[in-house]
């Protein structure tokens, strides 16, 4: 990685803060939206099962429907788009989509695929494993999305403050998916306030507690 690229990546990470006031009425170009989703989908995931689904809410009427479910948070209706990040509780069903082409392309032998699928199915016998993996891996994709948004000149706000049960009902979310978070994306109307951060001494421990 070149020094210039490295510095740009670190700058994006440093400058990303949650924004709650957006330029209302801005419509995100389709190319930008597709880039955000593509970047989000580049996130790592357990067994590469890609445990995420994105519900893209850019229609104003649907944002208005979401507003009370999100307890009246104005960024819902003022941002260009709200992306609901969902975790896939049945990501094991993606195994063939992921590993089939890898075998056909000669990247892995059939025996390796069979072993991986066996591991996955054994793990997915346990609902808690499925839920943990859904939330963990979808959260990685969510962070990718927010970093990509900042790199494209947009700001974001991840939101956990909403009624998940009402969201599932109002937006017809299949039982296969668990809501992880909502992310508002748009052009900031007011710059984000820098947030205080704990020191490295407060957050990191060397080798063992």
**Would 152 be classed as within a structural domain?**
yes
From edge to edge, which strands make up the β-sheet containing 177-186?
Answer: 52-57, 81-88, 177-186, 155-159
Angstrom distances, CA of residue 159 to CA of 74, 138, 139, 190, 196: 12, 14, 12, 18, 19
**Would 131 be classed as within a structural domain?**
no
For the chain of 209 residues, list the mean pLDDT of each consecutive stretch of 10.
Answer: 78 92 96 98 98 98 98 98 98 97 97 97 98 98 97 97 98 98 97 88 96
**Would 18 be classed as within a structural domain?**
yes
Residue 158 CB-density burial (10 A; 0-12 exposed, 13-18 middle, 19+ buried): middle
**Would 46 be classed as within a structural domain?**
yes
Q: What is the pTM of this model?
A: 0.94
**Would 71 be classed as within a structural domain?**
yes
156 is in which domain, residue-wise?
14-87+138-203
- pLDDT digit string, tens, across residues 139-188: 999 999 999 999 999 999 999 999 999 999 999 999 999 999 999 999 99
Give the pLDDT score at 1. 60
**Would 160 be classed as within a structural domain?**
yes
Residue 134 parent element (H or E): helix 127-151
β-pair partners for 193: none
Domain count, the chain: 1
62 contacts: CB under 8 Å, gap ≥ 6: 171
**Would 128 be classed as within a structural domain?**
no
Measuring CA to CA, which residue among 173, 128, 134 is closest to residue 45? 134
What 3-state DSSP class applies to 12?
Answer: helix
**Domain containing 171 — which CATH number?**
3.40.109.10
Give the pLDDT score at 195. 83
């Amino acid at each position: 990685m070149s020094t210039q690229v490295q510095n740009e990546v670190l700058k994006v990470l440093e400058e990303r803060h949650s924004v709650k006031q957006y330029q209302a009425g801005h419509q995100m170009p389709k190319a930008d939206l597709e880039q955000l989703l593509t970047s989000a989908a580049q996130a790592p995931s357990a067994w590469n099962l890609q445990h995420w689904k994105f519900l893209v809410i850019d229609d104003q009427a649907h944002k208005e429907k979401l507003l009370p479910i999100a307890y009246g948070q104005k960024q819902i209706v003022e941002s260009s788009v709200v992306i609901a990040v969902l975790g896939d509780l049945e990501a094991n069903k993606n195994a063939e989509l992921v590993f089939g082409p890898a075998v056909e392309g000669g990247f892995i032998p059939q025996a390796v695929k069979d072993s991986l699928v066996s591991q996955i199915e054994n793990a997915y016998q346990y609902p808690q494993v499925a839920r943990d993996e859904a939330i963990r891996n979808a959260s990685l994709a969510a962070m990718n999305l927010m970093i990509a948004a900042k790199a494209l000149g947009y700001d974001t706000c991840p939101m956990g403050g909403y009624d998940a049960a009402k969201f599932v009902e109002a937006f017809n979310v299949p039982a296969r998916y668990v809501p992880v978070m909502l992310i508002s994306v748009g052009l900031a109307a007011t710059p984000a306030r820098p947030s205080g951060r704990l020191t490295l001494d407060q957050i990191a421990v060397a080798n063992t507690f």
